[in-house]
């Protein structure tokens, strides 16, 4: 391979990788799930092969990169449409601390030891497990933490009072509607049913659950919803 050919391959590989990565979307670099990790490695390997492997023709290298990009985009589309497929490919978030208690079984499922858990907590400015109410290990390997109320900074919203009984209070905001469908598992855990959800939606002027893209019950017991077909002003 001549220096000229190598230079052309390097430039072509860089341009293709940059263009195809932008085409696949920001999720490919912002949220490194299992699928994104595999996709990024494969794309980088194909790009490197195109750049320096003289046994691979430029045409075949470009076709391989293009084919992998199309495959990744199609998989991403299926991921958006199918919650079951999304769980199978990317996994699900795991609650590793619930109501201040460490969930040993969940830690084992995600292969996370206490030292690693403490490192992730310190990155969230939490230096004691006693400060944590809930901690969720996300599919991209990050940890989301909700501190106990006494350790949370005071905000204007904390001064509001809610006319709800203690049994109506929710420990952590929880999704009840995703992609126009009820999350029955969460409804059962909160002792709620479909009739309650429909009543809340009716009060908001929304006729059907299928009209809601995402619905989440708040800590005060109210339902916050994001309907389909958002209008951007």
Closest CA to 114 of 99, 91, 132: 132
Do residues 8 and 83 both lie within one domain?
yes
Q: Would residue 155 count as lying in a domain?
A: no
Average pLDDT over residues 26-40: 67
Q: Is the dihedral of CA 143, 144, 148, 153 positive or negative?
A: positive
Judgement on whether residues 28 and 83 belong to the same structural domain of the protein: yes
Confidence at residue 26, expressed as pLDDT on a 0 to 100 scale: 57
Inside any domain, residue 73: yes
Q: Is the pLDDT of residue 202 over 80?
A: yes
pLDDT of 61 above 80: yes
Residue 80 domain-assigned? yes
d(C-alpha 198, C-alpha 216), whole Å? 13
**pLDDT value of position 169:** 58
149, 173, 190 - which closes a domain? 149
Q: Would you say residue 157 lies in a domain?
A: no
Give 20 or 163, the one with higher predicted confidence.
Answer: 20
Check whether residue 82 and residue 15 sit in a common domain.
yes
CA distances 193 to 22, 113, 214, Å, are 42, 37, 17
pLDDT range class, residue 231, cuts 50, 70, 90: very low
Q: Do residue 77 and residue 59 come from a single domain? A: yes
pLDDT at residue 133 is higher than 50: yes
pLDDT at 163: 41
Residue predicted with more confidence, 203 or 24: 203
Inside any domain, residue 37: yes
pLDDT for 143-171, tens place per residue?
Answer: 999 888 776 665 555 544 444 444 445 77
pLDDT digits (tens, 9 = 90+) for 216-225: 888 778 888 8
Q: What is the CATH number for 143?
A: 3.30.240.20
Domain membership of residue 127 as a residue range: 94-149
The whole-number pLDDT of residue 160 equals 45
Percent share of the chain, pLDDT over 70:
84
Mean pLDDT score of the chain: 80
Residues above pLDDT 90, as percent of the chain: 6
User: Is residue 31 one of the residues assigned to a domain?
Assistant: yes
Q: Give a yes or no: residue 156 inside a domain.
A: no
68 and 139 co-located in one domain: no
Q: Identify whether residues 31 and 79 lie together within a single domain.
A: yes
Helix (H, G, I), strand (E, B) or coil at 44: helix
Please give the average per-residue pLDDT across 79-87, as a whole number.
77
Burial class (CB in 10 A: 0-12, 13-18, 19+), 197: buried
Residues 185 and 130 in one domain: no
Same domain? For 15 and 70 the reply is yes
pLDDT surpasses 50 at 203: yes
- The reported pLDDT for the residue numbered 214 is 82
Structural domains counted in the chain: 3
């Amino acid at each position: 391979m001549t220096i000229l050919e190598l230079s052309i391959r390097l430039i072509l590989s860089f341009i293709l990788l940059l263009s195809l990565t932008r085409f696949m979307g920001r999720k490919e670099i912002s949220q490194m799930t299992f699928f994104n990790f595999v996709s990024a490695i494969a794309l980088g390997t194909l790009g490197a092969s195109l750049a320096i492997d003289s046994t691979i023709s430029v045409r075949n290298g470009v076709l391989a990169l293009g084919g992998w990009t199309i495959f990744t985009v199609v998989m991403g589309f299926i991921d958006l449409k199918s919650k079951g497929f999304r769980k199978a490919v990317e996994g699900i978030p795991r609650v590793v601390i619930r109501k201040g208690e460490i969930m040993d079984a969940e830690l084992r499922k995600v292969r996370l030891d206490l030292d690693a858990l403490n490192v992730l907590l310190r990155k969230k400015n939490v230096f004691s497990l006693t400060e944590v109410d809930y901690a969720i290990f996300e599919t991209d390997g990050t940890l989301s933490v909700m501190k106990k109320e006494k350790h949370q900074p005071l905000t204007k919203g904390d001064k509001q009072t809610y006319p709800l009984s203690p049994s109506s209070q929710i420990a952590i905001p929880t999704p009840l509607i995703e992609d126009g469908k009820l999350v029955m598992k969460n409804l059962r855990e909160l002792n709620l049913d479909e009739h309650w959800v429909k009543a809340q939606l009716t009060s908001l002027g929304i006729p059907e659950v299928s009209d809601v893209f995402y619905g989440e019950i708040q800590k005060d017991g109210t339902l916050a919803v994001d309907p389909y077909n958002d209008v951007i002003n």
